[in-house]
A and B are shown apart, each in its own frame.
Chain A
Amino acid sequence: MPKRLYRSFQALLLLVLCIFLASKLASGKLTYYINLRFIPLTIFGVIFLAVLAQTLFAEIKRSRQLAQAGDDEHEHAPASSNLWFMLVPLLIGVLIPARPLDSSAFATKGFNTSSPLVSADSSAQLFETDSEERNVLDWIKLFNYETDISQFIGQKASVIGFVYFDQSLNKNQFFISRFIISCCAADGFAIAMVGEWPQATNLEKDSWVLVKGTIQSITLNEQVVPLIKADSVQAVPVPEQPYLFP
């Protein structure tokens, strides 16, 4: 492949990659893939890719002018197969619709009702947060670290998660699950608390719900797990941040 053509493809691919990332950023779908805290890095990436593409376009223009001036250089381009590999993430990103990890990933990614996370911050500050503002992870943490969980029984709760059914539960119960992501989707694993609602059988697996009710506890596999006795279960769209961050 002649050098100038190679440069043109390079510039085009960089530009497309830049637009691809920027569109994921703009649509808020970037949080399907990486932890919120790394988004500034992606913004840097988008800007830098644009700068690189611009540099290449300028270089193509310059080499065309040189060619017209008769100063044509015979240059060899690097292997063109390098270019086609960059199409792989673009094609995967465009052809396969963005979908956050859900219960179909439980088989390989793991699914827990206890929290294996030992965070540097204690659960002390969780006590101060309003009980209705705690998410699934917060409740799991509280039930794991506190020796006396009776203090939580009867508190009001309101959590969002996706629905999952399992044989360990009764007919009127379901799991309210979330994936926990530290860095990117590669290290995700799922946690869940239990919801109890008379019409639970009407719920659809993997659908997102907002569950409001009061906290109870249930014992699963010799482990005390938080349970919400639901007053209402409401279908909601996929949240802007489908994952929780430890």
Chain B
Amino acid sequence: MVIIFFVQKTTSSSRLPRSFIISIVIGILLIIVFSMISIGFLSWVWDKLNIFATVFLGIFIEAIPYLLLGTLASGLVEVFLDRDQMSKWISHRPVAAAIGGAFMGMIFPVCECGVVPLTRRLFNKGLPLSAGISFLLAAPVLNPIVVFSTAAAFGWGNMLFWRMGISLVIAVVVGIVFSVEKKPSNVLIPVLTLSHEHDHSQRENPSIAEKIRQALLITADEFFEMGRYLILGAMLAAGLQTFIPQAALLAIGSGPILSVLVMLALAIVLSICSTVDAFVALGFLGTFSFGSVLSFLVFGPMVDIKSIIMYLQVFRRRAVTYLVAIPFMMSLLAGVIFNYLQP
């Protein structure tokens, strides 16, 4: 098309087409600009690009297995769990549902990347809003892998106990807040992309092998769908880490309130998986108080750059604001209280 257009234009008038002139001018300008840039600048750009690539691939490669596990869980839930069964298990009274949802998080070994597709699937199966929300926030902290990794880093003591306890409270509170909304469609973005693969399975009673095949197909679809937002989030986090000095961030962090704020900001920027963040937090214990590190451990799994971007695909924007703001306030409060109790 473009070529035809080009040919017509050049044959119809003897003047060169405007786009051609513009592109030559831009080309000359680019050459001038590049010749003015020193070698030092280019090597600076190359260095930054390398840091970006290493940090980005670090987050991405680390997250792939967890994302696979989460989407696999989602695929299995879709195929093996009936809507009827679900409504039998879960109470529809808001408080009970929220608590039930949070405790459900203890069973599923998913971190914050895997929990988002799984929660969406559970909503699709008729899980009440309050239960789903508290599951979403609690599962990345309360699951067995995280319990053991936290214990491995801090021992079976105070840090583990308070991390689990405060996360549970925040998850249940946010779940109850969301139970006020009676229409789930005001909170959830409707799922359009669910393929009608399962139509085949409903024709007759499918075999286990057939069901697993269906589950794997759903896993693959969701891996791509959620992987997209994981990649976006990891790029954003790596970009921030390439240009914002974390050392400066740590340096300003003193005082009972400011230090908690610094830890919360770091939790958002680092975007590390909840299954391993305890080892990272261990490193801060030398320079930061117990309360500040605790707030990092509570808030990080609930909210960081990549999980915010993934939330935005499942929840409406207003709901995401609540999902970020309430845990932020409560983690801040918890951190500050601990800082005043045991400075």
* Chain A interface (Cβ < 8 Å from any Cβ of B): 3, 10, 13-14, 17, 21, 24, 30, 32-35, 38, 41-42, 44-45, 48-49, 51-52, 55-56, 58-59, 75-79, 81-83, 85-86, 88-89, 92-93, 96, 98-101, 104-105, 107-111, 115-120, 180, 182-187, 189, 246
Contact = CB atoms under 8 A, between A and B. Distances in A.
Most central of A24, A55, A58, A100 by chain B CB within 10 Å: A55
B196 A75 contact: yes
A42 B58 contact: no
Contacts of B54: 32-33, 98-101, 185
A42 B65 contact: yes
Interface string B46-59: 01111101111111
Interface stretch (B10-18, B220-228, B329-337): B220-228
A99 B227 CA distance: 24
Contact of B237 (A85, A100, A119, A186): A186
Contact of B245 (A48, A108, A187): A108
Contact of B224 (A82, A109, A120, A183): A82
Interface string B189-221: 000010110000000000000000100110111
Contacts of B227: 82, 85-86
Interface of B: 47-51, 53-62, 64-66, 68, 72, 153-155, 193, 195-196, 213, 216-217, 219-221, 223-225, 227-228, 231-232, 235, 237-238, 241-247, 250, 270-273, 276-277, 279-280, 282-287
Nearest to B243: A108
A52 B219 contact: yes
A241 to B, nearest CB: 14
Best-buried of B54, B216, B279, B280 by chain A (most CB within 10 Å): B54
A52 B283 contact: no
Contact of A86 (B217, B231, B277): B231
Contacts of A108: 51, 241-247
B228 A92 contact: no
Contact of B272 (A55, A104, A184, A189): A184
Contacts of A85: 224, 227-228, 231-232
Given A45-B64, A184-B58, A116 B280 contact: no
Contacts of A99: 50, 53-54
A182 B224 contact: no
B70 to A, nearest CB: 12
B191 to A, nearest CB: 11
Nearest to A107: B245
Given A78-B225, A186-B272, A56 B245 contact: no
Given A108-B247, A117-B286, A45 B65 contact: yes
A104 B61 CA distance: 22
B60 A182 contact: no
Given A93-B57, A96-B50, A88 B241 contact: no
Given A88-B235, A104-B51, A110-B245, A182 B220 contact: no
Given A42-B61, A111-B247, A186 B53 contact: no
A99 B273 CA distance: 23
Nearest to A81: B228
Closest 8 CB pairs of A and B: A185-B58, A184-B58, A110-B247, A104-B47, A183-B276, A182-B279, A85-B228, A116-B286
A186 B241 contact: yes
A186 to B, nearest CB: 5
Contacts of B220: 10, 14, 52, 55-56
Contacts of A182: 276, 279-280, 282-283
B136 to A, nearest CB: 22
Contact of A186 (B217, B238, B243): B238
B104 to A, nearest CB: 24
Nearest to A180: B283
A116 B284 contact: yes
A82 B57 contact: no
A117 B284 CA distance: 7
Given A55-B217, A116-B287, A89 B60 contact: yes
A78 B195 contact: yes
Contacts of A77: 195
B282 A33 contact: no
A112 B159 CA distance: 26
Contacts of B272: 183-184, 186-187
Nearest to B251: A110
Contacts of B243: 108
Contacts of A34: 58, 61-62
A186 B58 contact: yes
Nearest to B200: A73
Contact of B246 (A32, A44, A109, A118): A109
A118 B279 contact: no
Given A56-B220, A59-B213, A99-B54, 11 more contacts: A33-B54, A52-B223, A75-B196, A78-B225, A85-B224, A89-B57, A110-B245, A180-B283, A182-B280, A182-B282, A189-B247
